[in-house]
Amino acid sequence: MPKKTFTPEQIVAKLRQIEVLLSQGKTVPLACKDSGITDQTFYRWRKEYGGLELEQAKKLRDLQKENAQLKRALATMTLEKQILKDIAEGDF
């Protein structure tokens, strides 16, 4: 079975859906099964996204994207610096 990836907005929506099912008296395993996720996924998501609103989830996704771009830029700059250092020392 292929692994599904959910956006933070979808995760928050699923958590809200499970909360509604739990308030209606369903158990966690049944609520998770109705939502199409495992218990472990529910607990992991609740730990990470538990108190977030939809707008906060969008901001989190945008910040994660920006962070990934900055990490790539830093890696590129570090590599360029190392190459220039090696050329200056004649170690090529």
Domain boundaries, the chain: 8-89
Predicted confidence (pLDDT) at residue 85 exceeds the cutoff of 60: yes
Cα of 35 vs its chain's centroid, Å: 19
CA distances from 38 to 15, 19, 43, 44, 89 (A): 12, 15, 9, 10, 56
Q: Bigger pLDDT: 29 or 1?
A: 29
pTM of the model: 0.60
Cα of 14 vs its chain's centroid, Å: 14
